[in-house]
Amino acid sequence: MFPTLLAALALTLQVPPPTTGVERAQELEADARAILARESEALQSLADRLTKQGETKGAAEVRKLSPPTPEGPATRLVPLPDVVEPRSGLASVAASGTDWGQDLEAIRKTAGESFFELATKAASAEPSHMARAGIALRETLARLPDHAEARRLLGYVPHDGGWAKPFAVRQLKDGNVAHPTYGWVPEDWVVHLELGELPAPAVRGKPTTWLPAAEADRLRSTWRTPWQINTEHFEIRADVPLAEAIQFGRRLEAFHDLFFALMADVVGDELPLARRFKSPSLAPDASYRPHQVVYYADRDEYHERMRPVAGEQVASESLGYYDPRGPGRGSRRPAYFFRDVDGQLPVEATLYHEVSHQLLFESAGPNAYLNNSGDYWVFEGLGTYFETVTPTKDGALEVGGLVGPRLEAALHSLGARKFQRLGDFLRQDQAAFNRDERIYVNYQQAMALTLFLMQAERGAYREPFLDYVRDAYRGRIKRGSGRSLEDRLGTPVDEIERRFRAFYAPAAGG
């Protein structure tokens, strides 16, 4: 089981290491940087030309096309929209029709086509590199928003001259509209929502009763009549105010996009993107079996309802909870949360932590993670790594930055020499990892190590690390199997530890 701990801030086969996969990953990364460098050089040249011609506004517009660079080691991703309206010209190009607009469009088109070629190359490699393919497709659409094949691969269908995900198309066909506060709602709800009204709990055989929002939310503040919300990938039950529950669902959907963009190669052949690459005629899925999420109004209610689910210790000490399915079982299991006002961890951090477990264990096929010879740390490492997800003002998400209260505690523990030697830490099984006297520092060390492996040196260790994650998920890590972390990185454990400590030295004060 994977509870997020309240006190965490006191908190079978013999195989060689996949060196060819690592080399191909490095080649693909170099290709992506080369595309960006060529585009940047061409854009800078155009901007300089416009400046000399007195076209200062045009020059500024060209320079704005370079995306912001995250501070520190973080990875940045813009979630894909549900609906893309018809456009004229290329994405981010407002200059169509100007004397220099055609030059700008040509630069963007060249880069967009190059990124699509890179996506195809990454997907067809052996082994495939689906995460890199997916990111390259997003780069394609940032420049060529009507690239039909990139749209299909990323889950869109044509809609009213633009593009939409099948879930959004179904909502529109059912007569629903996207409300800025309440999400997808029947069109006849809008007039009531604008009057500050929400529906009372339904009574069979009777028409909907509309009440002031505060009164409707009060009637839903009991678990007998919670709000029930269906997003594209989640089924949410919540007894918090509806506007909060909708915002909670939006965070879930944005995180779903980020998670599968980063973890595509762990999910592997189960990934919809992988299936669509293999089958050029395969349309995006029209339906999705939703993940179940329960969101309670406060800790007291969470404690009361979690005791029969997971026992007194989890109910009293956890901030959120997800129990992964066992080997061979395909059923969905709820992830549980509560509104933790002024808690030790932001509720968003707990949300991303537990839902990362849920998405992995409900999407990557049968698991046997307890069959490993140790190496349990990696699962809590991933959960705590995703606690670093941070929304930005422009709607993007960043992950892997040196942010959050748990990482701050981890840096303190590292500086105070509380972490175990890396070789000993890696070999812990679940019972050893969860020892009362070590568990909180173990969570911190797992977080710091995962962030290092995902983000250090521009993600140089990420793909071999995720190979290791995939093997750990399937229970393949045995002594001498060639699948240990040091085997995957091709680096002795003492050297990994040296690089790990050097990465954090500026922040940890040593």
Q: How does pLDDT run across 178-213, given as a tens digit for each residue?
A: 999 999 999 999 999 999 999 999 899 899 999 999
Q: Are strands 162-164 and 2-5 parallel, antiparallel or unpaired?
A: unpaired
Please check whether residue 334 is in contact with residue 326, taking contact to mean a CB–CB distance below 8 angstroms: no
Nearest alpha carbon to residue 182 among 166, 161, 198: 198
Based on the number of CB atoms within 10 Å of its own CB, is 261 exposed (0-12), middle (13-18) or buried (19 or more)? Answer: buried
| Separation CA 108–CA 85 (nearest Å) | 20
Local structure of residue 56 (DSSP, 8 states): H
What parts of the chain have a pLDDT lower than 70? Answer: 1-21, 67-71, 88-98, 325-330, 510
Cα angle 366, 284, 394 (rounded to 5 degrees) comes to 95
Domain borders along the chain are 19-164, 166-231
Please check whether residue 454 is in contact with residue 468, taking contact to mean a CB–CB distance below 8 angstroms: no
| Separation CA 177–CA 175 (nearest Å) | 7
**Edge-to-edge strands, sheet with 75-77:** 75-77, 397-399, 390-391
| Separation CA 276–CA 274 (nearest Å) | 5
pLDDT at residue 510 in the model:
59
pLDDT at residue 327 in the model:
45
| Separation CA 179–CA 168 (nearest Å) | 13
| Separation CA 353–CA 253 (nearest Å) | 14
The three-state secondary structure class of 418 is coil
Residues near 92 by beta carbon (within 8 Å), at least 6 away in sequence: 64, 65, 108, 142, 143
Phi/psi of residue 215, each to 5°?
-70, -45
pLDDT at residue 21 in the model:
66
Please check whether residue 123 is in contact with residue 130, taking contact to mean a CB–CB distance below 8 angstroms: yes
| Separation CA 340–CA 328 (nearest Å) | 34
Please check whether residue 35 is in contact with residue 111, taking contact to mean a CB–CB distance below 8 angstroms: yes
